[in-house]
Homo-oligomer: A and B are copies of this chain.
């Protein structure tokens, strides 16, 4: 396998790229050697050398503890539990959350044989038991595994006395009822509320 084929084979292993788009990406890289290919090679090296999981919350950062865990302006009494770092990023992009995080690294899964000790659940229980955390927001996904995990964590955290909350379910902002699945509509109906103001 020559240099081009090896590059294409590696690019094709990225999520979102198949063999065809990997070839297109490889050609784009070769065409823009100085402006894209060399900087990307360097960025990958730097990231591989410097990025690690935060030992407190599981976030990815060059610092450990990460910049969220060490940010004194964030509410240390509020903890949001997410499955993956991508979920943490999604919540950070909203700018609406000012507490800290705990990244589980997945969900419980009987089929895949993932138990509590394979996730960062023991560390979560320890963290909530030890520190002055008032509220834990469970922001796992609305999948069977995500909800099973949330249920399990709720039980494990009961002895700590911390308040456990869940993200609200309902109609997405801008969502049209006609295009929504039944489960979302049902959840939105059950959680109906009086108009504000």
A3 touches B41 (CB 8 A): no
B29 touches A44 (CB 8 A): yes
Question: Given A21-B16, A25-B16, A29-B14 in contact, is the A44-B37 Cβ separation under 8 Å?
Answer: yes
- When distances are taken between beta carbons in the complex, the residues of chain B under 8 Å from A3 are 43, 46-47, 50-51, 62
Interface residue A60 (Cβ < 8 Å from any Cβ of B): yes
Interface SS majority for chain A = helix
Interface residue A17 (Cβ < 8 Å from any Cβ of B): yes
- When distances are taken between beta carbons in the complex, the residues of chain B under 8 Å from A50 are 3
- When distances are taken between beta carbons in the complex, the residues of chain B under 8 Å from A27 are 60, 84-86
Cα distance, A109 to B89, chains bound together (Å): 43
A86 touches B23 (CB 8 A): yes
By beta carbon, the residue of chain B nearest A50 is B3
User: Which of A23, A45, A84, A89 is the most central at the interface, judged by chain B CB atoms within 10 Å of its CB?
Assistant: A45
| Residues of chain A from 18 to 47 with CB closer than 8 A to chain B in the complex | 21, 23-30, 33, 36-47
A sample of 13 inter-chain contacts (CB < 8 A) reads A3-B47, A3-B62, A7-B44, A7-B46, A11-B14, A15-B25, A16-B16, A16-B21, A24-B86, A27-B85, A29-B44, A38-B44, A41-B41
With A4-B47, A10-B40 given, name 20 new contacts (CB 8 A): A2-B61, A3-B50, A3-B51, A4-B51, A4-B60, A6-B43, A7-B43, A7-B47, A10-B36, A13-B36, A14-B29, A16-B16, A17-B17, A23-B86, A29-B47, A30-B47, A37-B48, A38-B44, A38-B45, A41-B42
